[in-house]
Structure 1
Amino acid sequence: MTLPSAAVARLTLDELPGISWQPFGREDLPAIAAFYTECEAYDENPERTSLADLEEFWDSPRSVPEEDTLVARDADGNVVATAWAGCNRAMTEHRRVRLAGAVRPDRRGEGIGRAVLQWELAHGLAWDDASRRDGYGPLVMRMFVPTEQADVRDLATRNELPTERYFFEMSRRLDGVIEVPVLAGVRLAGWDIERNDEVHRVMDEAFQDHWGHTDTTTEMWQENIDSHAFRPAWTVLAIDDSTDRVIGGAMNYAWEQDWEPQGYTEGYTDQLGVLRSHRGRGVAAALLLESMRRFSEFGMDAAGLGVDAANPSGALRLYEKLGYQRTASTCAHQFTRP
């Protein structure tokens, strides 16, 4: 990949006519959230960005918005574009950069998107060069795009970010009585904060064979648990009766910003994991069915989740068997530097 330096890429942004750039300020977040709402509606993005999401990003000790973000405004002060290359400074096994910039629909085709992506990539490379230490893993810069968003996918490909993976969003209506099976030797239980560290270890272990997985730090895990969207009352743990140890879990969330555009409320299983030692015994299905029962109890219309289309565990077949249907598709474009 041949890219300009971060300084040159920044200068290119500044030379775009009629707009000015500055890092995200916390006071900018409501306008930026409204901007993402407009873009994501236009692009029919299955995952929407809320103001609370942006505030949690801003407030995270891991975030450095003054370095990793830029917002462009026109002469009237309206948000035109964002450039967002979120460098995950907590991880060393893989050095992650999230590419999440966007251009307002009526300003596309002016070269802004190309300049944004070039800056994001250049910024990620410069950060890696400046902070890399012996023993660090490869640099992975990744962007997620709705499969049908041809303009952004073409932009990614032209900048040497090939499609690495496809993901399906799936949903199941919560109609009728939900029967949760009784499992021999395994009981289902609700969220227990006293088991927080244990669940963290189990989920990391359960995801070892998943594409792109890197163990989360304690700080990253806690941010997920503290998220405005996490629902402890909906979350389900699977516990081995003989050892009283957690062997799986369904970590459940409410992404309320998605409900209005999709037309129904939904409990969402963000992580579903079962230790390899307990797979093939119906634990995953039981965790999902108990999650559905809890979603229904709280008045949700549907149960949702996302799945890697090439997941080696056969998860897609399980979800389809349980009645989940595909509602959207997203692809991951990725650049990797050893």
Structure 2
Amino acid sequence: MLSVSSRPYAGESDLNAIAHLMNTCEEVDRLDEGTSISELGQKFSEPSRYLARDICLWEDAGGKLIGFALLSISEPGEVTDGWLWFRVDPDARCGDVEAAAVVWGETRMREVGSLRGAPVKLRSWVNAVDADRISVLESCGFRVDRYFCRMARSLSEPIAEPQCPEGFTLRLFPGEQDSEAWVEMFNQSFIDHWNHHDLTVEKFKYDLAQPSYRKDLDLIAVAADGTFAAFCYAEISPEECDRTGRNEGWIMSLGTRRGFRKIGLGRAMLLAGLHRLKAAGVETAIIGVDTENPWGAMGLYESVGFHNIRDSISYVKDV
């Protein structure tokens, strides 16, 4: 067994070592999980993240970072979810550090559950081809909870023009002054979807302030009475494109609020988002989808030219 010690996150001084670990793993695993110091810094600075408690590092006897884990904990609700993200240096993958990361996640989530007085679940995403990670999670008592697809579409292929239903106007999101209306629309759009946790205005405003945010890629559909009815937000990460060598953009968020579905708004917003990405010079559009989405999202995406390029699995453990 390796001689390993764990410690909490020490601040920005740890970012370089964590990024190096992540990229060392990526060189071996090829899972598109590389990162940079700036990307990690942005992720760690999200609202409601308690860095002193929600990050753990593991080092070998020589002080080299060999393991890293991060918990993203949902806002209070009937059930609190903790999404566990962890990587272990390929030369240290004997199972001990991986198991320690899971135990750490369980311990932290029990603490959260005690503080909030509500049930908690520990969750983790895994690429469907990552047999080692799947083995670790299943050996630690996780079970499969949901399947997802990553889909892609070449933007060199023709894109149909969006047809907005009568009475609705497609326009750019006005800006931070309308944050509460946008967040209310988002939550009403996903309230009946799997594992929904309400978005907060604080988190939304944080996202608007990020360097990657582009107003020209943020679209909404507005009803005649002024109600925000549907949305499509796309994103381009220059750092990710440079790292992978691929010119891609994401349809990050697409939804239609309850009461406005099945009239063509979702298709119109998606097509408009694809046109925006193409105008920005992107070659390939990427979107993620829940394979059991109750509103036929998979069929919509396929109908406009997307195809599946990767499967992923959500695992869960009751703690």
Q: Do Structure 1 and Structure 2 share a fold, with TM-score over 0.5? A: yes
Code of the aligned partner of 1:247: A
Q: Distance in 2 between matches of 1:161 and 1:236?
A: 38
1:75-224 map, 5 Å: 75-88=61-74, 90-129=75-114, 131-133=115-117, 136=118, 138-183=119-164, 184-193=166-175, 194-224=177-207
Q: TM-score, normalised by structure 2?
A: 0.91
Change (3 A) 1:211 1:41: farther
Matching of residue 26 in structure 1 with residue 7 in structure 2: no
Aligned to 1:316: 298
Q: 2:277 aligns with which of 278, 291, 295?
A: 295
Aligned residues: 316
Aligned to 1:225: 208
Change (3 A) 1:47 1:306: farther
Q: Distance in 2 between matches of 1:298 and 1:261?
A: 19
Code of the aligned partner of 1:322: V
Instruction: Report Cα offsets for 1:114-166 as digits up to 9, x if no partner.
Output: 1221222122113322x023xx4x31211001011112112211222101011
Q: Distance in 1 between matches of 2:162 and 2:276?
A: 14
Secondary structure at 2:137 match in 1: helix
Shift of 1:182: 3.0
Which segment drifts farther, 205-214 or 22-31?
22-31
Q: Distance in 2 between matches of 1:213 and 1:40?
A: 30
Q: Distance in 2 between matches of 1:54 and 1:230?
A: 16
Q: TM-score, normalised by structure 1?
A: 0.86
Unaligned runs of 5+ in 2: none
Shift of 1:272: 0.6
Q: Distance in 2 between matches of 1:61 and 1:296?
A: 32
Q: Distance in 2 between matches of 1:145 and 1:220?
A: 25
Shift of 1:258: 3.7
Q: How well do the aligned residues superpose, as a CA RMSD in angstroms?
A: 2.1
Secondary structure at 2:285 match in 1: strand
Shift of 1:186: 1.6
**1:146–1:330: 8 Å Cα contact kept in structure 2?**
yes
Instruction: Report Cα offsets for 1:57-103 as digits up to 9, x if no partner.
Output: 43334122211212223355432111323434x42343121211210
**1:26–1:58: 8 Å Cα contact kept in structure 2?**
no
Code of the aligned partner of 1:132: R
Q: Which runs of 4+ in 1 moved over 6 A?
A: none
**1:52–1:228: 8 Å Cα contact kept in structure 2?**
no
Q: Distance in 1 between matches of 2:71 and 2:45?
A: 16
Change (3 A) 1:38 1:228: farther
Matching of residue 268 in structure 1 with residue 233 in structure 2: no
Instruction: Report Cα offsets for 1:38-74 as digits up to 9, x if no partner.
Output: 2234333245444333212433341222112122233
Q: Distance in 2 between matches of 1:229 and 1:97?
A: 26
Change (3 A) 1:83 1:182: closer
Aligned-pair identity (%): 25
Code of the aligned partner of 1:248: A
Q: Distance in 2 between matches of 1:247 and 1:41?
A: 43
**1:69–1:86: 8 Å Cα contact kept in structure 2?**
no
Shift of 1:177: 4.7
Q: Distance in 2 between matches of 1:171 and 1:41?
A: 23
Q: Distance in 2 between matches of 1:38 and 1:259?
A: 18
Shift of 1:336: 3.3
Change (3 A) 1:334 1:197: same
Change (3 A) 1:110 1:335: closer
Q: 1:331 aligns with which of 307, 313, 317?
A: 313
Change (3 A) 1:322 1:61: closer
Code of the aligned partner of 2:297: A
Matching of residue 55 in structure 1 with residue 37 in structure 2: no
Matching of residue 251 in structure 1 with residue 257 in structure 2: no
Secondary structure at 1:141 match in 2: strand
Q: Distance in 2 between matches of 1:98 and 1:280?
A: 32
Secondary structure at 2:314 match in 1: strand
Which segment drifts farther, 246-255 or 42-51?
42-51
Unaligned runs of 5+ in 1: 1-15
Change (3 A) 1:17 1:262: closer
Q: Distance in 2 between matches of 1:50 and 1:332?
A: 25
Secondary structure at 2:98 match in 1: helix
Change (3 A) 1:48 1:226: farther
